[in-house]
């Protein structure tokens, strides 16, 4: 009989398959974590845009909002110091909201969002449906502004 000091070819192939399944499983988990972090960051930024949009709309006169009949877009100018609205259209000729992330004074990434809203008037309040989108995900928020 032969002395079996070395691995046979079958044992080597089985160990290679187990090792590759383990390595690719770890890579898949890492990739899923990265994707989840990206989605969570984007959702956080969408809520920030929503908060800014509600504060922007609260700053307008009630009478101005009550006369709006078309869908309007919202933007905050280049430095987020102004609150601007104009008519929304499907050609996306209105500008978007860009949120940039920095790490050690270096721009790391940015996300672009479009914010638009519709209004419906009631007796003593205006019902506002606000939409924040990046054209992959869209979040819809409802709130009221009272007279």
Q: What is the pLDDT of residues 29-73, one digit of tens each?
A: 988 888 888 888 888 988 988 888 888 888 888 888 888 878 888
82 domain-assigned: yes
20 domain-assigned: yes
Q: Taking the complete model, does pTM exceed 0.85, yes or no?
A: no
97 domain-assigned: yes
81 domain-assigned: yes
The reported pLDDT for the residue numbered 84 is: 75
The reported pLDDT for the residue numbered 79 is: 64
| Rounded-to-integer distance, Cα 139 and Cα 134, Å | 9
pLDDT in tens, 118-136: 888 888 888 989 999 888 8
Task: Give the contacts of 109 (CB within 8 A, at least 6 positions apart).
Answer: 100, 101
| Rounded-to-integer distance, Cα 136 and Cα 30, Å | 23
122 domain-assigned: yes
3 domain-assigned: no
Asked if residue 51 lies in contact with residue 67, where contact means CB atoms within 8 angstroms, the answer is: no
36 domain-assigned: yes
4 domain-assigned: no
Query: Could you tell me which residues are beta bridge partners of residue 84?
Result: 75
For residue 93, give its domain range.
Answer: 10-146
The reported pLDDT for the residue numbered 23 is: 94
| Structural domain total, the chain | 1
Task: Give the contacts of 74 (CB within 8 A, at least 6 positions apart).
Answer: 53, 56, 57, 83, 84, 85, 97, 115, 116, 117
């Amino acid at each position: 009989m032969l002395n079996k000091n070395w691995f046979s070819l079958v044992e080597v192939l089985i160990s290679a398959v187990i090792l590759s399944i383990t390595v690719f499983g770890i890579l898949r988990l890492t990739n899923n974590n990265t994707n989840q972090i990206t989605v969570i960051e984007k959702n956080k930024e969408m809520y920030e845009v929503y908060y800014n949009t509600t504060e922007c709309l609260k700053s307008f006169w009630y009478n101005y909002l009550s006369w709006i009949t078309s869908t309007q877009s919202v933007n905050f100018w280049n430095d987020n110091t102004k609150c601007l609205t104009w008519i929304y259209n499907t050609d996306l000729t209105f500008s978007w909201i860009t949120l940039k992330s920095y790490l050690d004074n270096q721009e790391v990434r940015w996300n672009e969002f479009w914010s638009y809203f519709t209004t419906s008037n009631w007796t003593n309040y205006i019902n506002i449906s606000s939409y924040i989108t990046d054209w992959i995900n869209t979040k819809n928020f409802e709130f009221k502004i009272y007279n």
